[in-house]
Structure 1
């Protein structure tokens, strides 16, 4: 029997407090070697603080963190050659070009990826001769990810990597992240983008108020927490809105004004029957469709609030789920 592969990251009971403010409150998670693991949550949920503790940039108030088997604070020199992080913000030489920056960084490592390889992987051809100080937000983000990839790290850590990117740049980023995993690397990323978490991650931990609310493969989380599906349509007669909550299997009705009517979404345990009822109803509808639930619905179910609702759940609320 082959020996079990040690996890790339193991966090147990992680807490980080700043005076009376608790940023991270008892997080447990394990990132397997060779997977893409996502920390999914709104801004202020504690994702960045968790990542900073994992890579040794902040010392935890309590709890244990092991990265590739080592303490990232006490044994930082040991893990530094094996871990690379793309932070949300980083100081670079503003007068260097993108290509010059990549070449300088590549010279700092043995067996490093070359500047041309990174330019190809992140789609930086159009800005290769631009000075760093003149880059757009999305271009700078791609450069930061490229710099993290140069050392071919065992563990690649990305903090909100697609912030400020247009759809094409985001797809190039996703391809680069997936390519790193296919080459044998492990990826830990934080994101507040549901689409990114679903597209990239083998598993995600939903973080809210400094705690892990739930974790697992995106498809498993959707199946476990949101067994219902959604029937959507445009309604001309708003007077019919009140009757939908009385329909069999419908547990939630949401609506919003749109041009030429009202967009309606019915959350239903019997979506096919609900859809048939909408199609056969006497009121006028159009664009009737059946929609699968998403991680946003999972977040709502496990936290009791909408993903973009201001104000994270109190850090003194129920204990966190262990992600192991």
Structure 2
């Protein structure tokens, strides 16, 4: 049953290309004021899913509703409330940055202030430059500017941070946070686990066209990234067999570094306890101890498995459904 605050509702969505399935019975909802992230290896179906949400592609089966409407049905009201930033798009090269944003603003009844939009995406100083001379990162920021200038209720962003430098990425993140703070909704696909953890209220991990997990980043990490990694430096001749026998340790490996040392990596289910054991064992002569308690990257690898290593694995055979 749909709730009144559901902005996007996807029910048993499947999309077939020939004999292959890019999406296989995908289902989720996104609420007003939520930043919802889509994670997945290349070819998992993220872009196809966003295209179905924008009405660029029609599902083979299942339903998609955005703001209560079918996005595949032409409706000017819905078009003015949902804005899309694709991975790539062509803008008019002879126009200036300001002229480009002004053109897009003219399509909406109550657009945002042009200077404010340019400042938010970090392009105010480039306002009079021609589009054709912009760098790749600046072009992506301009795409973001024309996406938000219409004050959309829903932002759909397909890997928006790809190719951005750290400063430009911060501008993007600020725009996403401002959208949420104003009561708007954001759906974004990303390969950046740090970005997903920082921005998203919930994330769905898409693997070979299916949602393998969907929850808050914190709960996903707690449930699926159970192992921590403790690292330290030790003399090359150090016997590491004792470390492998510590309670909770599942793997120990080492790599030679400069001089007569090795960098040791320990995977363990009890990170803090293992760290204390290593620090207190004088025979290890451990230095530069560090601990990584896991994150979305670990969740992603545990769910995606081998498919994370296969570029272009966009679909699975329908006959493989279970």
TM-score (norm 2): 0.90
How far did residue 244 of structure 1 move? 3.9
The total of aligned residue pairs comes to 316
- Which residue of structure 2 aligns with residue 268 of structure 1? 268
Q: Deviations over 1:33-69 (max 9, x none)?
A: 1100000112221101100011101111111100000
1:232-285 CA-to-partner distances (Å, cap 9, x unmatched) read: 223442764565433220123455555454443322122222112222252343
- Change in CA separation of 1:101 and 1:228 when aligned onto 2, cut-off 3 Å: same
Inter-partner Cα distance in structure 1 for 2:115 and 2:271: 51
- Tell me the equivalent position of 1:70: 69
Go from structure 1 to structure 2 and tell me whether the alpha carbon gap of 1:257 and 1:65 turns closer, same or farther (over 3 Å shift). farther
Is the aligned partner of 1:129 residue 2:112? no
**Cα–Cα, structure 1 residues 166 and 284, in superposed 2: closer, same or farther, change >3 Å?**
same
Q: How does 1:148-227 map to 2 (within 5 A)?
A: 148-227=147-226
Any conservation in 1 of the 2:205–2:213 contact (CA below 8 Å)?
A: yes
**Cα contact 2:42–2:314 (8 A) shared by 1:** no
Change (3 A) 1:158 1:254: farther
Rounded to whole Å, the distance in 1 between the matches of 2:13 and 2:238 is 51
Partner of residue 298, structure 1: 299
> Which residue is equivalent to 1:24?
23
**2:211 is paired with a residue of what secondary structure?**
strand
Retained in 1: the 8 A contact 2:24–2:210? yes
Counterpart in the other structure of 1:12? 11
Secondary structure, aligned partner of 1:72: coil
* Superposition TM-score, scaled by structure 1 size: 0.90
Which residue pairs with 2:289 in the alignment? Answer: 288
CA distance in 2 between counterparts of 1:258 and 1:212 reads 41
Q: Residues of 2 paired with 1:217 and 1:254: CA distance?
A: 32
Question: Mind listing any 5+ residue stretches in structure 1 that lack a counterpart?
Answer: 320-324
Q: RMSD of the TM alignment (CA)?
A: 2.3
